[in-house]
Chains A and B, each alone.
Chain A
Amino acid sequence: MGLLDLFRSHRNKGTAAIAKERLQILVAHDRATRNQPSYLPQLQRELLEVIRKYVDVDMNSISVNYEQDETREVLELNIVLPEVAASKGS
Protein backbone atom coordinates (compact mmCIF):
# COMPACT_ATOMS: atom_id res chain seq x y z
CA MET A 1 0.00 0.00 0.00
CA GLY A 2 1.45 3.31 -1.09
CA LEU A 3 1.36 6.60 0.70
CA LEU A 4 -1.42 7.76 -1.55
CA ASP A 5 -3.63 4.83 -0.56
CA LEU A 6 -3.09 5.55 3.09
CA PHE A 7 -4.15 9.10 2.54
CA ARG A 8 -7.23 8.05 0.60
CA SER A 9 -8.45 5.45 3.07
CA HIS A 10 -8.05 7.94 5.87
CA ARG A 11 -10.15 10.43 3.99
CA ASN A 12 -12.89 7.97 3.12
CA LYS A 13 -13.22 6.62 6.60
CA GLY A 14 -14.34 9.65 8.57
CA THR A 15 -14.67 9.58 12.33
CA ALA A 16 -18.37 8.79 11.93
CA ALA A 17 -17.43 5.36 10.56
CA ILE A 18 -15.23 4.75 13.60
CA ALA A 19 -18.08 5.82 15.87
CA LYS A 20 -20.47 3.43 14.16
CA GLU A 21 -18.09 0.51 14.41
CA ARG A 22 -17.42 1.15 18.11
CA LEU A 23 -21.12 1.49 18.85
CA GLN A 24 -22.06 -1.68 17.01
CA ILE A 25 -19.62 -3.71 19.09
CA LEU A 26 -20.65 -2.02 22.31
CA VAL A 27 -24.37 -2.31 21.73
CA ALA A 28 -24.11 -5.98 20.72
CA HIS A 29 -22.20 -6.67 23.93
CA ASP A 30 -24.61 -4.67 26.10
CA ARG A 31 -27.59 -6.47 24.61
CA ALA A 32 -26.05 -9.89 25.11
CA THR A 33 -25.49 -9.23 28.79
CA ARG A 34 -28.86 -7.50 29.21
CA ASN A 35 -30.93 -10.57 28.35
CA GLN A 36 -29.00 -13.10 30.32
CA PRO A 37 -30.27 -14.36 33.66
CA SER A 38 -28.98 -12.52 36.71
CA TYR A 39 -27.61 -15.70 38.30
CA LEU A 40 -24.96 -16.07 35.60
CA PRO A 41 -22.01 -14.32 37.32
CA GLN A 42 -22.57 -16.31 40.51
CA LEU A 43 -22.95 -19.54 38.54
CA GLN A 44 -19.63 -18.81 36.88
CA ARG A 45 -17.94 -18.19 40.23
CA GLU A 46 -19.28 -21.33 41.86
CA LEU A 47 -18.47 -23.53 38.87
CA LEU A 48 -14.96 -22.23 38.95
CA GLU A 49 -14.62 -23.10 42.63
CA VAL A 50 -15.71 -26.68 41.98
CA ILE A 51 -13.42 -27.10 39.01
CA ARG A 52 -10.52 -25.65 40.95
CA LYS A 53 -10.77 -28.45 43.49
CA TYR A 54 -9.58 -30.78 40.78
CA VAL A 55 -7.84 -28.73 38.13
CA ASP A 56 -5.76 -25.61 38.49
CA VAL A 57 -7.56 -23.19 36.22
CA ASP A 58 -7.70 -19.44 36.59
CA MET A 59 -10.64 -17.07 36.30
CA ASN A 60 -9.90 -16.16 32.69
CA SER A 61 -9.96 -19.72 31.42
CA ILE A 62 -13.66 -20.18 32.06
CA SER A 63 -16.44 -18.48 30.17
CA VAL A 64 -20.18 -18.83 30.53
CA ASN A 65 -22.33 -17.76 27.61
CA TYR A 66 -26.04 -17.51 27.49
CA GLU A 67 -27.89 -17.34 24.21
CA GLN A 68 -31.55 -17.16 23.52
CA ASP A 69 -33.51 -17.45 20.34
CA GLU A 70 -37.20 -17.98 19.76
CA THR A 71 -37.31 -21.70 20.41
CA ARG A 72 -34.51 -22.46 22.84
CA GLU A 73 -32.05 -21.19 25.39
CA VAL A 74 -28.43 -22.30 25.34
CA LEU A 75 -26.15 -22.16 28.34
CA GLU A 76 -22.63 -22.72 27.10
CA LEU A 77 -19.76 -23.43 29.44
CA ASN A 78 -16.25 -23.22 28.11
CA ILE A 79 -13.24 -24.21 30.20
CA VAL A 80 -9.70 -24.11 28.94
CA LEU A 81 -7.79 -26.83 30.79
CA PRO A 82 -4.13 -26.23 31.51
CA GLU A 83 -1.28 -28.46 30.24
CA VAL A 84 -1.37 -32.01 31.75
CA ALA A 85 1.77 -31.41 33.81
CA ALA A 86 0.12 -28.54 35.62
CA SER A 87 -2.92 -30.49 36.82
CA LYS A 88 -3.20 -31.49 40.48
CA GLY A 89 -3.44 -35.06 41.86
CA SER A 90 -3.55 -38.06 39.46
Chain B
Amino acid sequence: MARTIVITSGKGGVGKTTTSAALAMGLAQRGHRTVVIDFDVGLRNLDLIMGCERRVVYDFINVINGESNINQALIRDKRCDSLYVLPASQTRDKDALTKEGVGKVLEDLGKSFDYIVCDSPAGIEHGAHMAMYYADDAVVVTNPEVSSVRDSDRMLGILSSKSRRAEQNQPPIREYLLLTRYSPERVAKGEMLSVGDVREILSLDLLGVIPESKAVLTASNSGVPVIMDQESDAGQAYSDAVARYLGEDLPHRFLEIKKKGFFSRMLGG
Protein backbone atom coordinates (compact mmCIF):
# COMPACT_ATOMS: atom_id res chain seq x y z
CA MET B 1 0.00 0.00 0.00
CA ALA B 2 1.51 3.29 -1.07
CA ARG B 3 1.26 6.32 1.13
CA THR B 4 -0.06 9.42 -0.66
CA ILE B 5 1.38 12.75 0.48
CA VAL B 6 0.04 16.10 -0.71
CA ILE B 7 2.29 19.16 -0.67
CA THR B 8 -0.08 22.07 -0.33
CA SER B 9 -0.33 25.65 0.96
CA GLY B 10 -3.19 27.67 -0.45
CA LYS B 11 -0.91 30.59 -1.22
CA GLY B 12 1.32 30.54 -4.27
CA GLY B 13 5.07 31.00 -4.39
CA VAL B 14 5.80 29.63 -0.93
CA GLY B 15 7.82 26.63 -2.10
CA LYS B 16 5.40 23.78 -2.83
CA THR B 17 7.18 22.56 -5.95
CA THR B 18 10.65 23.01 -4.41
CA THR B 19 9.42 20.99 -1.43
CA SER B 20 7.75 18.31 -3.57
CA ALA B 21 10.97 17.81 -5.54
CA ALA B 22 13.13 17.76 -2.41
CA LEU B 23 10.95 15.41 -0.36
CA ALA B 24 10.42 13.02 -3.28
CA MET B 25 14.15 12.89 -3.99
CA GLY B 26 14.89 12.45 -0.28
CA LEU B 27 12.47 9.53 0.05
CA ALA B 28 13.84 7.92 -3.12
CA GLN B 29 17.46 8.35 -2.02
CA ARG B 30 16.59 6.33 1.06
CA GLY B 31 15.50 3.51 -1.22
CA HIS B 32 11.73 4.06 -1.19
CA ARG B 33 10.06 3.71 -4.57
CA THR B 34 8.64 7.19 -5.04
CA VAL B 35 6.64 9.00 -7.70
CA VAL B 36 6.04 12.74 -7.68
CA ILE B 37 3.00 14.06 -9.57
CA ASP B 38 2.44 17.59 -10.84
CA PHE B 39 -1.22 18.58 -10.34
CA ASP B 40 -0.76 22.10 -11.72
CA VAL B 41 -2.47 21.59 -15.07
CA GLY B 42 -1.70 24.43 -17.47
CA LEU B 43 1.21 25.75 -15.40
CA ARG B 44 3.46 22.77 -15.01
CA ASN B 45 6.79 23.44 -13.35
CA LEU B 46 7.76 20.32 -11.46
CA ASP B 47 9.48 18.95 -14.59
CA LEU B 48 11.71 22.06 -14.65
CA ILE B 49 12.58 21.85 -10.97
CA MET B 50 13.34 18.13 -11.39
CA GLY B 51 15.38 18.83 -14.53
CA CYS B 52 13.42 16.47 -16.80
CA GLU B 53 11.51 19.03 -18.91
CA ARG B 54 12.98 17.80 -22.18
CA ARG B 55 11.96 14.24 -21.55
CA VAL B 56 8.21 14.86 -21.21
CA VAL B 57 6.26 12.94 -23.85
CA TYR B 58 2.97 12.01 -22.24
CA ASP B 59 1.42 13.57 -19.16
CA PHE B 60 -1.02 12.99 -16.30
CA ILE B 61 -4.06 14.03 -18.39
CA ASN B 62 -3.04 11.70 -21.25
CA VAL B 63 -3.03 8.84 -18.75
CA ILE B 64 -6.40 9.83 -17.26
CA ASN B 65 -7.92 10.01 -20.75
CA GLY B 66 -6.45 6.66 -21.76
CA GLU B 67 -4.28 8.23 -24.50
CA SER B 68 -1.19 6.65 -23.01
CA ASN B 69 -0.51 4.12 -20.31
CA ILE B 70 1.07 5.04 -17.04
CA ASN B 71 4.47 3.57 -17.90
CA GLN B 72 4.72 5.72 -21.04
CA ALA B 73 4.10 8.87 -19.04
CA LEU B 74 6.36 8.21 -16.05
CA ILE B 75 9.82 9.75 -16.34
CA ARG B 76 12.55 7.92 -14.49
CA ASP B 77 14.98 10.20 -12.70
CA LYS B 78 18.51 9.92 -14.08
CA ARG B 79 20.13 10.47 -10.69
CA CYS B 80 18.05 8.12 -8.59
CA ASP B 81 16.61 4.82 -9.82
CA SER B 82 13.69 4.69 -7.41
CA LEU B 83 12.30 8.11 -8.35
CA TYR B 84 9.77 8.83 -11.10
CA VAL B 85 8.05 12.03 -12.22
CA LEU B 86 4.53 12.26 -13.64
CA PRO B 87 4.28 15.67 -15.34
CA ALA B 88 1.14 17.79 -15.66
CA SER B 89 -0.34 18.76 -18.98
CA GLN B 90 0.66 22.20 -20.20
CA THR B 91 -2.19 22.62 -22.67
CA ARG B 92 -5.32 21.05 -21.27
CA ASP B 93 -8.08 22.50 -19.22
CA LYS B 94 -7.78 21.72 -15.50
CA ASP B 95 -11.26 20.19 -15.52
CA ALA B 96 -9.68 17.23 -17.29
CA LEU B 97 -8.59 16.12 -13.82
CA THR B 98 -11.62 14.10 -12.79
CA LYS B 99 -11.99 12.60 -9.35
CA GLU B 100 -12.45 9.12 -10.82
CA GLY B 101 -9.54 9.54 -13.24
CA VAL B 102 -7.15 10.75 -10.55
CA GLY B 103 -8.30 7.99 -8.21
CA LYS B 104 -7.67 5.34 -10.86
CA VAL B 105 -4.15 6.60 -11.63
CA LEU B 106 -3.25 6.79 -7.92
CA GLU B 107 -4.58 3.29 -7.39
CA ASP B 108 -2.44 1.96 -10.26
CA LEU B 109 0.65 3.79 -8.96
CA GLY B 110 -0.02 2.46 -5.47
CA LYS B 111 0.68 -1.06 -6.74
CA SER B 112 4.28 -0.30 -7.65
CA PHE B 113 5.31 2.61 -5.41
CA ASP B 114 5.84 3.18 -1.69
CA TYR B 115 5.21 6.92 -1.74
CA ILE B 116 3.13 9.10 -4.05
CA VAL B 117 3.98 12.79 -3.64
CA CYS B 118 1.29 15.13 -5.02
CA ASP B 119 2.49 18.64 -5.86
CA SER B 120 -0.62 20.80 -5.46
CA PRO B 121 -1.29 23.97 -7.46
CA ALA B 122 -1.84 27.19 -5.50
CA GLY B 123 -5.34 28.24 -4.57
CA ILE B 124 -8.29 26.17 -3.38
CA GLU B 125 -9.83 25.45 -6.77
CA HIS B 126 -10.32 22.17 -8.57
CA GLY B 127 -6.65 21.25 -9.11
CA ALA B 128 -5.77 21.82 -5.45
CA HIS B 129 -8.84 19.87 -4.41
CA MET B 130 -7.87 16.92 -6.61
CA ALA B 131 -4.30 16.96 -5.27
CA MET B 132 -5.45 16.66 -1.65
CA TYR B 133 -8.55 14.51 -2.06
CA TYR B 134 -6.85 11.10 -1.88
CA ALA B 135 -4.06 12.11 0.52
CA ASP B 136 -3.01 10.15 3.61
CA ASP B 137 -0.58 12.84 4.75
CA ALA B 138 -0.37 16.57 4.05
CA VAL B 139 2.65 18.82 4.21
CA VAL B 140 1.42 22.40 4.56
CA VAL B 141 4.16 24.67 3.22
CA THR B 142 4.05 28.05 4.93
CA ASN B 143 6.15 31.21 4.88
CA PRO B 144 6.44 33.17 8.14
CA GLU B 145 4.20 35.89 6.74
CA VAL B 146 0.56 36.83 7.45
CA SER B 147 -1.13 35.92 4.16
CA SER B 148 0.66 32.59 3.91
CA VAL B 149 -0.23 31.60 7.48
CA ARG B 150 -3.85 32.55 6.97
CA ASP B 151 -4.09 30.60 3.71
CA SER B 152 -2.47 27.59 5.39
CA ASP B 153 -5.12 27.65 8.07
CA ARG B 154 -7.79 27.81 5.40
CA MET B 155 -6.19 24.82 3.68
CA LEU B 156 -6.19 22.89 6.99
CA GLY B 157 -9.94 23.41 7.17
CA ILE B 158 -10.34 22.04 3.65
CA LEU B 159 -8.10 19.04 4.39
CA SER B 160 -10.20 18.13 7.40
CA SER B 161 -13.56 18.42 5.65
CA LYS B 162 -13.20 17.86 1.89
CA SER B 163 -10.83 14.90 1.60
CA ARG B 164 -11.79 11.32 0.90
CA ARG B 165 -10.75 10.39 4.43
CA ALA B 166 -13.14 13.01 5.81
CA GLU B 167 -15.98 11.97 3.51
CA GLN B 168 -15.61 8.30 4.38
CA ASN B 169 -15.15 8.88 8.12
CA GLN B 170 -11.68 7.34 8.07
CA PRO B 171 -8.88 8.52 10.35
CA PRO B 172 -8.04 12.10 9.29
CA ILE B 173 -5.13 13.14 7.08
CA ARG B 174 -1.91 13.52 9.09
CA GLU B 175 -0.98 17.18 8.77
CA TYR B 176 2.53 18.59 9.03
CA LEU B 177 3.85 22.12 8.95
CA LEU B 178 6.90 22.92 6.85
CA LEU B 179 8.08 26.47 7.37
CA THR B 180 10.11 27.80 4.43
CA ARG B 181 12.12 30.95 3.67
CA TYR B 182 12.88 31.32 7.37
CA SER B 183 15.28 34.05 8.36
CA PRO B 184 16.60 33.75 11.95
CA GLU B 185 18.17 37.22 11.63
CA ARG B 186 14.83 38.85 10.94
CA VAL B 187 13.11 36.83 13.66
CA ALA B 188 15.71 38.05 16.16
CA LYS B 189 14.96 41.63 15.14
CA GLY B 190 11.24 41.08 15.67
CA GLU B 191 10.58 41.57 11.97
CA MET B 192 9.43 38.05 11.19
CA LEU B 193 7.05 35.56 12.82
CA SER B 194 9.05 32.90 14.66
CA VAL B 195 8.63 29.12 14.32
CA GLY B 196 6.96 29.18 17.73
CA ASP B 197 4.50 31.87 16.63
CA VAL B 198 3.44 29.98 13.50
CA ARG B 199 3.14 26.67 15.36
CA GLU B 200 1.05 28.34 18.03
CA ILE B 201 -1.30 29.90 15.49
CA LEU B 202 -1.73 26.79 13.33
CA SER B 203 -1.18 24.17 16.09
CA LEU B 204 0.51 21.67 13.80
CA ASP B 205 3.36 19.19 14.08
CA LEU B 206 6.51 20.76 12.70
CA LEU B 207 8.12 18.69 9.95
CA GLY B 208 10.93 21.13 9.31
CA VAL B 209 12.15 24.67 8.95
CA ILE B 210 13.89 25.53 5.69
CA PRO B 211 16.03 28.64 6.00
CA GLU B 212 15.95 31.37 3.35
CA SER B 213 18.78 30.19 1.15
CA LYS B 214 20.50 31.10 -2.08
CA ALA B 215 20.84 27.38 -2.74
CA VAL B 216 17.12 27.09 -3.60
CA LEU B 217 17.44 29.39 -6.62
CA THR B 218 20.74 27.97 -7.80
CA ALA B 219 19.35 24.44 -7.54
CA SER B 220 16.26 25.35 -9.56
CA ASN B 221 18.42 27.11 -12.16
CA SER B 222 20.03 23.82 -12.99
CA GLY B 223 17.05 21.51 -12.43
CA VAL B 224 18.46 19.77 -9.37
CA PRO B 225 16.26 19.23 -6.31
CA VAL B 226 17.86 21.35 -3.57
CA ILE B 227 18.09 18.33 -1.26
CA MET B 228 20.93 17.07 -3.48
CA ASP B 229 23.00 20.10 -2.48
CA GLN B 230 24.06 18.71 0.89
CA GLU B 231 26.58 21.52 1.31
CA SER B 232 23.70 23.96 1.65
CA ASP B 233 21.63 24.68 4.75
CA ALA B 234 18.37 24.29 2.79
CA GLY B 235 19.48 20.91 1.44
CA GLN B 236 20.35 19.67 4.92
CA ALA B 237 17.12 21.04 6.37
CA TYR B 238 15.13 19.13 3.72
CA SER B 239 17.06 15.94 4.55
CA ASP B 240 16.12 16.38 8.19
CA ALA B 241 12.48 16.88 7.20
CA VAL B 242 12.50 13.62 5.21
CA ALA B 243 14.04 11.79 8.20
CA ARG B 244 11.38 13.22 10.51
CA TYR B 245 8.63 12.24 8.10
CA LEU B 246 9.98 8.68 8.25
CA GLY B 247 9.80 8.74 12.03
CA GLU B 248 13.26 9.86 13.15
CA ASP B 249 13.40 12.31 16.02
CA LEU B 250 15.83 15.03 15.01
CA PRO B 251 16.35 18.46 16.57
CA HIS B 252 15.50 21.43 14.34
CA ARG B 253 18.55 23.16 12.92
CA PHE B 254 19.13 26.59 11.35
CA LEU B 255 16.80 28.35 13.78
CA GLU B 256 19.56 30.49 15.27
CA ILE B 257 21.62 33.19 13.63
CA LYS B 258 24.71 31.59 12.25
CA LYS B 259 27.92 33.17 13.38
CA LYS B 260 30.16 33.48 10.40
CA GLY B 261 33.80 32.93 11.07
CA PHE B 262 36.60 34.22 8.93
CA PHE B 263 37.04 30.94 7.04
CA SER B 264 33.41 30.32 6.30
CA ARG B 265 33.17 33.88 5.01
CA MET B 266 36.15 33.33 2.74
CA LEU B 267 34.75 30.02 1.51
CA GLY B 268 31.28 31.48 1.03
CA GLY B 269 29.66 28.91 3.35
Contacts and interface: CB of A to CB of B under 8 A. Distances in A.
Contacts of A12: 190
Given A27-B201, A30-B157, A34-B157, A16 B150 contact: no
B159 to A, nearest CB: 12
Given A23-B146, A23-B149, A27-B150, A16 B197 contact: yes
Contacts of B215: none
B157 A16 contact: no
B55 interface: no
Contact of B157 (A22, A26, A31): A31
Interface in A11-51: 12-17, 19-20, 22-24, 26-27, 30-31, 34
A14 B150 contact: no
A20 B192 contact: no
Interface string B140-174: 00000110011001100100010000000000000
Q: Is the interface of A mostly helix, strand, loop or mixed?
A: helix
Contacts, number: 44
Contacts of A22: 146
B221 to A, nearest CB: 31
B52 interface: no
Contacts of B122: none
A14 B191 contact: yes
Contacts of B187: 16
Interface size class of B (residues with CB under 8 A): 10 to 19
Interface residues of A, number: 16
Among A12, A16, A26, A34, the one with the most B-chain Cβ atoms within 10 Å of its Cβ is A16
B190 A15 contact: yes
B46 to A, nearest CB: 30
Given A13-B190, A14-B189, A14-B191, A19 B146 contact: yes
A30 B228 CA distance: 39
Given A16-B194, A20-B197, A22-B146, 20 more contacts: A12-B190, A13-B190, A14-B189, A14-B191, A16-B187, A16-B191, A17-B190, A19-B146, A19-B193, A19-B197, A20-B193, A20-B200, A20-B201, A23-B146, A23-B150, A23-B201, A27-B149, A27-B150, A30-B153, A31-B153
25 contacts: A14-B189, A14-B190, A14-B191, A16-B191, A16-B192, A16-B193, A16-B194, A19-B146, A19-B197, A20-B193, A20-B200, A22-B146, A23-B146, A23-B149, A23-B150, A23-B193, A23-B201, A24-B201, A27-B149, A27-B150, A27-B153, A27-B201, A30-B153, A31-B153, A34-B157
Interface of A: 12-17, 19-20, 22-24, 26-27, 30-31, 34
